[in-house]
Amino acid sequence: MASLSVGMACLGLVLCMVVVPSLATVYNVGDASGWATGVDYSSWASDKTFEVGDSLVFNYPTSHTVEEVSSSDYSACTVGKAISTDSTGATTINLKTAGTHYFICGVAGHCENGMKLAVKVESSSSSSSTGKPSTTSPSTTTTTKIPDSSSSWSLSPVLAFVTTWVALCVMMVVS
């Protein structure tokens, strides 16, 4: 009887380790079009729910930039006052704070031609929130190459399956 309880506890622990980290979503901005002129980013974002812990991946030629800006700079397409900026061609933005985050291309004329994205980030159910969304706190910017797809789990489903299988085997051996 005690070995069954230990086995169930092990299974619960493994499932928590697998499920909780996999809840973050990685969004490839613009899907197959990437970060480019001529894409309607408002429509792209309209059916998505962004949460703290999710990531935005911008894939683009180095003739563009990704700049996180204030609400007013977003509305006016003001360049040169970015909170953060990157021009490497593969930019990952980790959404660390709730609130609306604003991104534009800093190349002259590109923002005015639609290369701008506003995402409303909600507090995730597993993070603590003060109830005061932030619109000026910068997100973390890193450069990464990620395969093209709209979104993906941050943990491989195969790894989750194997980990669960191993936990079940351990539970069988213990009992």
The domain ranges of the chain are 26-122
Higher pLDDT, 49 or 127: 49
> In this prediction, what percent of the chain has a pLDDT beyond 70?
60
Read off the pLDDT band of 162 (50, 70, 90).
low
Give the amino acid at 30: G
Pick the CATH number of 26-122 from 2.60.120.380, 3.10.20.90, 1.10.260.40, 2.60.40.420: 2.60.40.420
Read off the pLDDT band of 141 (50, 70, 90).
very low
Residue 153 pLDDT greater than 90, yes or no: no
Q: How high is the mean pLDDT of the chain?
A: 77
Give the amino acid at 31: D
Higher pLDDT, 142 or 75: 75
Place of tokens 């230990």: 6
Q: Which strand (E) or helix (H) includes residue 86? A: strand 84-86
pTM of the model: 0.64
